Structure 1
Amino acid sequence: MNTLEVSKLRIWDSLTDTILVKDSSFQIKSESCLAIVGESGCGKSVTCRAIMRLNRANLRQSGSIKLNGMNLGGLSEHEMRKQRGRQLCLIMQNGMRAFDPSSIVGNHFKETLKQHYGWSHTEITAKMAGAMESVMLKDPVTLMNKYPHQLSGGMLQRMMIALAIVLKPTLIIADEPTSALDTLSQYEVMEQLLSLKAESGCSMIFVSHDLGAVKRIADDIVVMKDGEIVERGAAAEVFTNTRHAYTKYLLEAKQALNSHFIQSMGGLELVDR
């Protein structure tokens, strides 16, 4: 059974009549990861926010989005809020934007988990502490009493992953989760996402323009350009038997960057050290 089925999704700006996504259709199999790949502005993020029903009011959408057979478009806003977090979990590009800057991060966890599970303060603290330790965050109780600006971007991303571990959602949407991080933090967050995918049994959408990260985590890939899906298929097939010229361009650009890096570092022998 497919966890998510998106059919003929169309997104447009009602103020300008600009079409942002054109009749997009894709599916995500149970316990698998679908990567959505493409350059900035191609429609990746608005597609993810459409699934969550979190786009700005002027962005309208049509088509069908079903989560485990349930039509999300038919839900009221009140019903949809129950799905967000519990069934649909969004890991944002910028961790700072996920938290209220005027409140300690622990309050975000408490409000979210109390709403969905009704747990006590003690239960929430214990479960979040365990999850935070599992994503290599030391002294979790102290961290939960800090404000977002007191934590690094990588720590905030791992906190969102820890919350997803506790929530155990059906579908996790990771929208460019490493693009705002330094190289070491990118590596650490990718390791945690891979562990989350392997251990939780959830399905995942991984949005990125980083083909190296996509190759590590994705089972299937869709490639978007100017609001349209131009190529799709199993990850191994897309990487080894690319059909569309735009996908070939993305792969060649990645290979050129890798070659430039190796040359800058003095050759492959030095890079391997």
Structure 2
Amino acid sequence: MSNELDFHLADLEPADADSEDAEQRLWSGDLTVLAEHHTTPYGSHSYVIAHDRSVTWGVPGAPQIVAIKVARDLSLNTFTFESTYHATLSFAQNWLIEHGCPPDRVAQVRWDFMKPTDDLTLWLDQQIRESGARYEVIDSWTSDSDPCETWTLTRDSSASQAPIRVFLEEGNHEARTCTIREGAFDDEAAARNWLDDRSSPLPQPPGYRGEAASRLARAALYRSASTSATPKAGPDTRHAPSAGTAQRPNRGKWL
């Protein structure tokens, strides 16, 4: 997997103004690739998740993980370019899967990224990644200084009770691990009050206690399957693009 990225668009023209703007807003020297998939044999599509270091210089709390989809029409020598920012890797993976990326390819993340600390974290990560359009993202916050955490405020379309869900992710940079927990609230105001106050535990989703054992059992099975399915040598990079783009100093703490 390449740390620098070249989408090989030099001989192609943007198919529309939105694609031109989206491509120009990203500078490959700011991006550290976390996961990528490029279709073969003709390279018509590229799917990439990257950490954008330039965000650490901008608006405080802005999401730093960018998901990118490039589709090339080689018969017309044009391309379409789409990108969107997310606070956490799992929501970026979800977006790419919804836009056509094979789930198993986007799940292969570079080996030195944050690892789940426990089975519940692993299960929640999988749940978000494979949730389709279930969660409507309302807001998010990213803090890359100690204590390192992100939260994503969502509306759960499948929840009959407490539909506002907060996914809180706490990272340990020294151990390179992360913990994810889910909180449930009746409305957005209650969720924001909790995020501002933090004087009480994160409210568990309704029925969570009764589901905890089965959740952890499913997470343990998923961990076992993921471990056996992950290549020891890391992701397949035979078709990954590469470039020699200069990089700015990394002032963020995510990577």
TM-score by shorter chain over 0.5: no
Whose relative contact order is higher, 1 or 2, with alpha carbons under 8 Å and at least 6 apart? Answer: 1
Greater helix share, 1 or 2?
1
Scaled by the length of structure 2, the TM-score of the pair is: 0.28
Scaled by the length of structure 1, the TM-score of the pair is: 0.27
Greater strand share, 1 or 2?
2
